[in-house]
Structure 1
Amino acid sequence: MNEIASDVGFGRKNPKLKNALLQHKTLSLAGFSERLFGLLFSGLVYPQIWEDPIVDMEAMQLTPESRIVTIGSGGCNMLTYLSAGPRKIDVVDLNPHHIALNRLKLAAFRHLPSHKDVTRFLAIQGTTTNVQAFDLFLAPKLDTATRSYWTRRDMTGRRRIGVFGRNIYRTGLLGRFIAASHLLARLHGVNPEDFVQARSMREQRQFFDERLAPLFDRPVIRWITGRKSSLFGLGIPPQQFDELASLSAEKSLAAVLRHRLEKLTCHFPLRENYFAWQAFGRRYPLPHEGDLPPYLDAGAYEAIRNNAERVEVHHASFTELLAGKSAGSVDRYILLDAQDWMTDQQLNDLWTEITRTADEGAVVIFRTAAEDSILPGRVSPALLDQWHYDAETSLRLGAEDRSAIYGGFHIYRRKG
């Protein structure tokens, strides 16, 4: 196992990620899938996080006393939480590319001159002056590792920071997956970018019914969606594929993906859903077209800028960070979908630390590929009995998640 992990690179360079991903023997189909996913996941995956922060905020009900631990991913939601002025946010991620991106986004709020400059840097494509803004305002303020990351040159000789002068949201594993999906659709006569021309919910529904839904009946697409590797570009590891495939009698994800795409395209007005803009337009909307992510709202700018020093970004696992904290020192936990990847032992280790560090009134939120919570039957009853599963609110807020990727949204509250 270690030799193969080292050969593909990600195990040698990122042992934390290797330990989280590898669960099967090297010379097995499952083991090969895990190592292929690990290789792909070892680069930048999510330029933008794909969990709806409005849902998170309603579930958590943050206060000025909130002490948060969250997985970083693309960094957008961490900044949204910061707009509520919590006492402390610890951001963890196993991917060093996400660490660099989170630190850069924080620096943009702290050191760029104005809200317009932040919006231009993080939301407007084709702005070559963003690179100059980095050199002038951000590079001198960054820690050595983060500055080195963004000034490093790629195989074409361009500095990494150059993506902010083009369109960072077309980069990373997810950006390439969306590009490939667009190409596949166009080969079948459908241009997904046409969706952003819809001017009403009726037109959105019509576009889905007449142009997108039929694609999932095409033999090539059904074959592709039956392969685990086909969804690695969404950041879905082999374990999550198995969970999703269990929802279909055919063990193909075509029906599952069609259902979730229907939610993304038809359940929310396009103007209010920046996730749909990224999926179909491959950019954020312009001011006359729709809303930006909430952390880029002008009303949130001052709070985020003033509170940015309350965030600490760690290259660590969730369990590892919590193990170093004292009892009762955290009251909000955001796990994204990370538990879908975990073995039973990893889940129990995690919830042991969550329960130990949880203060009175603590809240845990997470998402799952399938609809049901994965904890019952896997996490020790002695741990779960200390938590209340808020099933009604979980179901309601899950339906309101505009990203539409996940099957379930889950809220656990510490019992008094």
Structure 2
Amino acid sequence: MQSEAASHAEFSAIRYAQCWEDADILLEGLEIKAGDTCLSIASAGDNTLAMLAKGAGRVIALDLNPAQLACLELRVAAYRELSHGELLELIGSRQSTRRSDLYRRCRPLLAPDNRAFWDAHPRQVEAGIGGAGKFERYFALFRGRIMPLVHSRNTIQQLLAGGTAAEREVFYRQHWDTWRWRLLFHVFFSRFVMGRLGRDPSFFRYVQGSVADRILARTRHALTVLNPADNPYLQWILTGRHTSALPFALRPENFEAIRANLDRLEWHCLPLEEFLEQEGAGSIDRFNLSDIFEYMSGENYQRLLERLLESGRAGGRLAYWNMLAPRSRPECLADRLKALPEMSARLFNQDKAFFYSAFVVEEIL
């Protein structure tokens, strides 16, 4: 079975230098148990590493893009070699004047290809490896060029300070939701601009309707229903670093658990379909599938889902996001895969990575 995404999208440079999916809801949905075998779409590695903190016996990271695996391997080296505070500096979560020195300490732990990759990107290292991807540069453009036309730095700081739910709602209506905000948001997060500057244009292949309208509605949810003071994804978008919150894998209380379990992690530059053929039936307990179904037709989604069920164990779980293309278990698979709509909806309502339109958790029967 061939990968549809691989046939349409370009995979060479770093697309995502961070994982823009909320590990808190992922881990709660998957309910990883000690000794579980977990498969994870690598992205930049953050959520794959987060799974180690839950005691998984084996975590397998896959990606079509070797640059994404270079991000993961450098993170693994950083967990091994650096302190927690130094890791935050290297990522860019905290300010630093010594990232090149921190990289040099990690460098001997990298495979030759990944060492050569990062050696060729010294400016990205110096700026913080969490900002080195196309998607992060897209947000940097939004932060540097669009936001100054919309709100002052003081207004942004007030937003990120959070407050009670009532205070957040009043602030949004009275100070944030201006005509200029809505206009420039619709331009910058249009299908055309996102396709050229943020995500690969092929990733919108199966998307219908207004992209900006859907993302704006979710953004309002993140700024009012959720607390910006607790949202590391929003903080990075608006400031270029983490201010009062960190993603799961970067929190100090999870650092040692991840470091202690790094030997349980493996990574492969392979299509998911090819790996499943190699691994065999009944071998995986938990699947972090990111938003891979976004990039394939409904027919190919169903075929891949059937293949995942063959590789999964009874009682195992799948978790994945929809951004704009709706994907969830078809009725023809109801005897093999149990939808968990209440859990999915509850977790989606807590999703701090707010640009998705759905979070789906399903259980293998």
- TM-score above 0.5, yes or no: yes
- Alignment correspondent of 1:401: 351
Q: How far has the Cα of 1:217 moved from its partner?
A: 4.5
- Alignment correspondent of 1:255: 213
- Alignment correspondent of 1:360: 314
Cα deviation per residue 1:326-383 (whole Å; 9 max; x = unaligned)?
Answer: 2211010111111011134532442232111111211001111248534427xxx2x4
Matched, 1:211 2:176: yes
Tell me how large the CA RMSD over aligned residues is. Answer: 2.7
- Alignment correspondent of 1:176: 137
Query: What is the aligned residue count?
Result: 360
Distance 1:345 1:373, change over 3 A: closer
| Structure 2: distance between partners of 1:164 and 1:358 | 38
Higher relative contact order (CA 8 A, sep 6+): 2
Cα deviation per residue 1:381-409 (whole Å; 9 max; x = unaligned)?
Answer: 2x453000011111111111111111111
Cα deviation per residue 1:157-200 (whole Å; 9 max; x = unaligned)?
Answer: xxx14423323344321122112223453464434784233332
| Structure 2: distance between partners of 1:302 and 1:182 | 33
**Which of the residues 86, 106, 110 maps onto 1:117?**
86
Kept in 2, the 8 Å contact 1:71–1:92? The answer is yes
Matched, 1:20 2:1: no
- Alignment correspondent of 2:119: 151
Kept in 1, the 8 Å contact 2:65–2:269? The answer is yes
- Unaligned stretches of 5+ residues in structure 2: none
Share of identical aligned residues, percent?
A: 22
Kept in 2, the 8 Å contact 1:49–1:77? The answer is yes
| Structure 2: distance between partners of 1:298 and 1:125 | 13
Distance 1:121 1:270, change over 3 A: same
Q: Which amino acid aligns with 2:91?
A: L
| Structure 1: distance between partners of 2:188 and 2:230 | 31
TM-score (norm 1): 0.78
Q: How far has the Cα of 1:233 moved from its partner?
A: 3.7
Matched, 1:65 2:35: yes
Q: How far has the Cα of 1:225 moved from its partner?
A: 4.9
Matched, 1:412 2:352: no
| Structure 1: distance between partners of 2:218 and 2:318 | 24
| Structure 2: distance between partners of 1:187 and 1:131 | 30
- Alignment correspondent of 1:269: 227
Q: Which moved more, 1:393-402 or 1:221-230?
A: 221-230
Matched, 1:302 2:256: yes
Secondary structure of the residue that 1:328 maps to in structure 2?
A: coil
| Structure 1: distance between partners of 2:205 and 2:296 | 13
Larger radius of gyration: 1
- Unaligned stretches of 5+ residues in structure 1: 1-15, 24-37, 153-159, 247-251
Distance 1:265 1:319, change over 3 A: same
Secondary structure of the residue that 1:74 maps to in structure 2?
A: coil
Q: Which amino acid aligns with 1:230?
A: M
Q: Which amino acid aligns with 2:315?
A: G
Q: Which amino acid aligns with 1:293?
A: P
Kept in 1, the 8 Å contact 2:44–2:72? The answer is yes
